[in-house]
Amino acid sequence: MATKSRKVETNAFSVLGDALESAAESFEEATVNARDSAKKAATTARRTLSIGVHKSAYGLSYGVIYASVFLTELFPEENPWRRGLEEGAQDALEERSRIRKLKAKTKEAPAKSKKAAKTKKPKASKAVKARADSFDAAVEATA
């Protein structure tokens, strides 16, 4: 009987060893799976945040522009508020176009020195005077 009990003990230790080895393998698999799951979750969260930011910016931009256009159309064409909105929008578009052209030129031919890269800007007083003259001319034309 003593030999039988030793076999049982040996089998018990063997079973225990197999169970520990299986548990260790399970932990290794869980660690690998956890890393993959964390990477997938981070990618999904980043994508979701990016979509949310894009939709928020789109909604804000659309709302501001639509409201401005709607308000502009409510006023009669001779109204100074409407004319101001239209001219401001036009000037903003022209300025953005000018800046894009300057950036394209700078990328094509980089300046040799910092002094050469600077462009002369019209003085503010000249720009204001020109704007005032065009406004006065528009007022006289409508009168």
- Does 109 score more than 90 pLDDT? no
Question: pTM (2 decimals)?
Answer: 0.43
Q: Are 86 and 72 in contact (CB under 8 A)?
A: yes
Structure tokens that stand for 94 in this block: 């022209």
Show the tokens assigned to 96: 């953005």
Amino acid (one-letter) located at 43: T
pLDDT per residue as tens digits for the range 57-102? 999 999 998 888 888 889 998 899 889 988 998 999 899 999 999 9
Torsion sign over Cα 24, 29, 34, 36: positive
The residue among 53 and 116 whose pLDDT is bigger is 53
**Mean pLDDT over residues 47-53, rounded?**
92
What is the share, in percent, of the chain residues with pLDDT greater than 90? 23
User: Looking at the 3D structure of the chain, how many domains does it have?
Assistant: 1
Range of the domain at 33: 2-142
Q: So what's the pLDDT on residue 115? A: 56
